[in-house]
Chains A and B, each alone.
Chain A
Amino acid sequence: MSDDILISAAGLSVGYKIGKGIFQHSILKAVDNVSIHIKRGSFFGLVGESGSGKTTLGRALLNAVPITGGNATYDDGDVNYDLTALSKDELGDYRRRAQLIFQDPYAALSPRMTVRDIIAEPLEVMKITSSRQETDERVREIAARCRLNLEHLRRFPHAFSGGQRQRISIARALVSRPQFIVADEAVAALDVSIQADVLNLLKQLQGEMDLTFMFISHDLSVVAHTCDHVAVMYLGRLVETAPTRQLFAAPKHPYTKALFSAIPSLNPDDRGRAQRLEGEIPSPTNQPSGCKFHTRCPHVIDRCRSEEPQLETADGAHEVACHRWQELLKVG
């Protein structure tokens, strides 16, 4: 069962029209030709800098932004949906099966609703429960799973700390008993001690409720500890994807290497050792030709400027999109 693919995307693109007028617009490709497979019951990590398209990809898989190219399917063994052509009924049902956890637990919860009402809202909006009693039962059950005190349900969010608020957000996302969760920077706004607590809770819930996570984060150490499989994005493209251990033991794309190298090490003696990436991620409205990373890559050659590399298999499930990855193995 655990080898089943829950979400599968092939050549997925999300484009936005920008500029004025019918004839003068151009297309901004936020996600460009991305193919991924997310195994059921896995923790799939998605990393990259701001502007890499990781949030847009997550939203596209939730059908919250329109997919403009390629295919995406969802198959949980119960239903099988083509995410690019959902009927109205199917979309309603998919909303129940796929949910989102937000970054900022201060902005995500309405200050005017009690915790009980916040958690119950998805059930009521999607008409999942038929009586108030049933709703209350579901709310109490999920609140207990998320380690919320039952007497907390009568209070308003302002009375809670960041960690407690994030547990309320998680309860709200899980109350409809979804299969697939997109957690978009779900621990980025939390203090480290609380971050550890929330990560442990997500892991525990995944096991108990048979959940599949897409975990979007800019924090590579969090991803390394949480995810089974990691995909690295740059300017809308997937540049490398591999099982977590394989990726962290031997990153192959120069961008992945640079990202790892930029993580501030806890060892004070590592100062000045890291290789630095020059410049910033280019604007998606003015994308470089060829390999999108060539403007910042320390190993750029002429071919990189003209020809875009495709993902190729490096080692089992480890794939990389770089013209020179094999040569660079020798350089280190």
Chain B
Amino acid sequence: MDRLIDVENLTLQFRTDEGLITAVDDVSFSLNRGEVMGLVGESGSGKSVTAKALMHLNASNAIYSPESRITLHTDSGGIDVLSLSRAADLKVVRGGAISMIFQEPMASFAPSISIGKQMIEQLQLHAEMSKAQAREIAIEMLDRVGISDPSSRVDQYAFELSGGMRQRAMIAMALSTKPRLLIADEPTTALDVTIQAQVIDLMKELVDEFNMGIVFITHDLGVVAQTADKVSVMYLGRLIEEGPVREVIRDPRHPYTRGLLAALPRLDDLDAPLTPVPGDIPSPLERPTGCVFNTRCGDVVGPACSASVPLEEWIDPAHRVSCHLYAGKEAS
């Protein structure tokens, strides 16, 4: 296995007027090349903040704990991402080794600069090449993501493209620098299902072709089931369960993961009631003590749940869960 990135003990707080907010709390995970990781959780679970940390791209009021370590493996050795501070060093990571695509492509393209010009700018920023060469690569990438007539589309502006085309152009731009890791933050949420299906197919093809790793942030477990190799579930900044996609969806262990699946309307059983996870996600200013989920959990096992943070238990070598239900138990 070709390791791509290691995240160890990532803890991230934001300094705000209302106090110190913990957005990510002691999160560790790894990703290999050619692997797709689905990162799921409700709004406020810290999934986007975690993804941005991979590029050291959070706002200036972010405080990383001293134990936090993110190592990006490249052909010329590991890069300690969080130790980078000079723009020239960060450039190697941001838009170079790691690219990101967003939910709203209209907001990500500059409205008054043509798509091609933006792609050329990015290419020239990251590699020595002439404008003509960069333009050629831009056209080639637009063609690759299924945009018809790319040599004339390249001179169009974002508003001239439909939603699906814009998201394809966004992907073309993100991949033009041949990143090793692609972070996709809800890339299909704003699209119609038929277009979503096309974009998902495209991303899967590109993973194979470029042997990239993808961190796929989504709230849609159906999308995860169709794209990811493994799933990480986050709640209030903590990674509460991680495992291979089949195992987590068919045999979820954490009560929160089970709750998410029970809340989902399923087409194979129209009579099944929709069971919401009770209550609302607490404010990050009022993080519960002990297990962060204990205020909404239906399976509280005892005082331990509100007193101590559950340790990570390994269900099998690839599947881990942080819940007192499994404390000290061997795989069952």
Contacts and interface: CB of A to CB of B under 8 A. Distances in A.
B280 A224 contact: no
Interface string B185-210: 00000001111111011000000000
B324 to A, nearest CB: 21
Interface string A186-212: 000001111111011000000000000
Contact of A266 (B193, B221, B259, B276): B221
Interface stretch (B94-102, B172-180, B263-271): B263-271
A260 B222 CA distance: 13
B301 interface: no
B249 interface: yes
B119 interface: no
Nearest to B223: A264
A194 B226 contact: no
Contact of A265 (B192, B226, B246, B273): B226
B197 A264 contact: yes
B197 A199 contact: no
B245 interface: yes
A248 interface: yes
Contact of A224 (B43, B226, B267): B267
A309 interface: no
A21 B284 CA distance: 56
A280 B222 contact: no
B265 A222 contact: yes
A217 B200 CA distance: 21
B308 interface: no
B195 A280 contact: yes
A218 B189 CA distance: 11
B200 A259 contact: no
A270 B226 contact: yes
A70 interface: no
Interface string B224-252: 01100000000000000000011001000
Given A161-B281, A163-B280, A267-B225, A192 B197 contact: no
Interface string A280-298: 1100000000000000000
A269 B193 CA distance: 19
Contact of B222 (A191, A199, A245, A265): A265
A259 B194 contact: yes
Contacts of A262: 193-194, 196-197
Given A195-B276, A264-B222, A266-B266, 18 more contacts: A164-B280, A191-B219, A192-B263, A193-B259, A199-B274, A218-B193, A220-B193, A221-B264, A221-B266, A221-B267, A226-B265, A245-B270, A260-B267, A264-B200, A264-B225, A267-B225, A270-B225, A276-B201
Interface of B: 42-43, 162-165, 192-198, 200-201, 219-223, 225-226, 245-246, 249, 259-261, 263-267, 270, 273-277, 280-281
Question: 8 shortest A-B CB distances, which residue pairs?
Answer: A264-B222, A197-B276, A193-B277, A196-B274, A196-B276, A196-B263, A225-B265, A49-B192
8 contacts: A192-B264, A193-B277, A224-B265, A262-B194, A264-B197, A265-B222, A276-B198, A277-B197
